[in-house]
Every structure is written in C-alpha cells, then in structure tokens.
C-alpha cells in the first residue's frame, strides 16, 4: 500500500475514535445530553450516573471496541506497514480525546486506550484492566482506578509487548494523566467523588 493509503487509514481511525458513544448511548437510554449532567464528561462513568448501569456498560464496551478495532486493522490487516499500528492507536485515542464531531471536546480516553492494548498486547492489557476493575470496586473512585492502571501499563507493555507498543504506551499514558489533572488535585484534597455519586463538572 502507498503512504496515501496509510494516511487514509489513520484519518479513519481518528474519525472512529471521535464517535461519542457515551453521548449517543446516553441519549438512546433517555438521559438526554450527558454533557449537561453529572460531571459533564462523555465517558462511561458519567453515563453510569446519568443513564444507569446497562447504558454505562454498553458505552464502555463500545469505547473499548473502537480502540481495539483500530489497532486490529494495523496488526492483522497490514502487519508489514511501517509504524502503522502505533499511528492508528494514537489516531483513535486522540479522536476520543478531541472529537471533531463535538468541537474537539471529548473524553479522557481510558476505555479506548484499554481497548487498544487489550488487542495489541493482550496480557498487559488484561492485567491493566483487572487492576482498573479491582481499584474501582474496592475504592469506588473511577479516576483513581484509571490512574493506577495506566501508571503500571508501560511496565506491563515493556514485559509483554514489543517496541512499537511500548512507544505508544509512553505517549498515551501522559495524556491520560493530563486529562485527569483536575481529578488528581481532588484526590490529593480528598474531594474526588465516588462511583455512583453526583460528580463535579469536567470530572
């Protein structure tokens, strides 16, 4: 394939990542515009608060799926494309963070990034997912669960993945932490809301 073809795939990955499944699922379940409710975020945590558990699970799986699909195209469709898979991973991730359909105001990328690494480095992704779920269940703080999982992700990818996946993780993880900067401040002050409770804006 030509570099033009690779470029189109990357653009397609971005447009896929930009699909705001949380917002769409929230509306489907009768919650209206979830950006105007709860934390104002389009992620699964705010879907849980505004539209319920079933809607949140669907939004979570769809956000994970778009990350997995994007890297799956690179891994299985074009295994010899030079650095295509990392480009697709970053494109779909940035699409979720900065969706063109919503004026570039998107989510925090946790589910999409987990989907990326579950497909790309399944063992590392699965361990990170388990840690995320464990912290979420025990501590009942969504942001803390995400930060814990992504803190260890590069190390897991280093052990179980390859160079391209490691480089992608080292770019994705700082962006996840940056998107959670307000959450980190609230965690340090002990004011971060728990899962199921009414959140603050931009949580």
Instruction: Tell me what pLDDT residue 82 has.
Output: 76
Q: Is residue 51 part of a domain?
A: yes
Q: Is the pLDDT of residue 96 over 90?
A: yes
For the segment 73-88, the average pLDDT, to the nearest whole number, is 90
Q: Is residue 137 part of a domain?
A: yes
Q: Is residue 196 part of a domain?
A: no
Residue 145, domain extent? 3-189
Q: Is residue 69 part of a domain?
A: yes
Q: Is residue 61 part of a domain?
A: yes
> 123-182: per-residue pLDDT in tens?
999 999 999 999 999 999 999 999 999 999 999 999 999 999 999 999 999 999 999 999
Instruction: Tell me what pLDDT residue 160 has.
Output: 96
Distance between CA atoms of residues 53 and 59, nearest Å: 10
Asked whether the beta carbons of 51 and 29 are under 8 A apart, the reply is yes
Q: Is residue 126 part of a domain?
A: yes
Instruction: Tell me what pLDDT residue 195 has.
Output: 80
| Domains identified in the chain, total number | 1
Burial label, 9 (beta-carbon count in 10 A; 0-12, 13-18, 19+): buried
Confidence of residue 202 (pLDDT cuts 50, 70, 90): very low
For the segment 34-60, the average pLDDT, to the nearest whole number, is 91
Q: Is residue 146 part of a domain?
A: yes
Instruction: Tell me what pLDDT residue 132 has.
Output: 96
Q: Is residue 139 part of a domain?
A: yes
Confidence of residue 107 (pLDDT cuts 50, 70, 90): very high
Mind giving me the DSSP string for 66-102? HHHHHHHIIIII-TTSTTHHHHHHHHHHHHHHS-GGG
Q: What is the percent of the chain with per-residue pLDDT over 90, rounded to a whole number?
A: 84
More confident residue, 133 or 39: 133
Alpha helices in the chain (DSSP H): 3-17, 21-28, 44-51, 53-72, 84-97, 110-120, 122-139, 142-160, 163-179, 181-189
| 91 Cβ contact partners less than 8 Å away, ≥ 6 residues apart | 10, 11, 13, 14, 17, 70
- The sign one gets for the Cα dihedral 88, 90, 91, 93 is positive
């Amino acid at each position: 394939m030509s570099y033009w073809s690779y470029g189109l795939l990357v653009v397609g990955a971005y447009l896929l990542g930009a699909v705001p499944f949380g917002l769409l699922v929230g509306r489907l379940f009768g919650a209206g515009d979830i950006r105007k409710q709860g934390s104002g975020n389009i992620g699964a945590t705010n879907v849980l608060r505004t539209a319920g558990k079933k809607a949140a699970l669907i939004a979570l799986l769809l956000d994970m799926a778009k990350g997995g699909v994007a890297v799956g195209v690179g891994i299985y469709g074009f295994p010899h494309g030079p650095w295509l898979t990392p480009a697709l991973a970053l494109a779909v991730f940035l699409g979720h963070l900065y969706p063109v359909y919503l004026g570039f105001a998107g989510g925090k990328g946790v589910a999409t990034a987990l989907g990326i690494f579950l497909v790309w480095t399944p063992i590392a992704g699965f361990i990170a997912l388990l840690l995320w779920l464990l912290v979420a269940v025990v501590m009942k703080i969504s942001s803390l669960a995400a930060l814990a999982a992504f803190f260890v992700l590069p190390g897991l990818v280093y052990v179980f993945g390859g160079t391209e996946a490691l480089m992608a993780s080292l770019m994705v993880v700082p962006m996840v932490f940056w998107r959670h900067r307000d959450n980190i401040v609230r965690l340090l002050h002990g004011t971060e809301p728990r899962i199921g409770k009414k959140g603050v804006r931009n949580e």
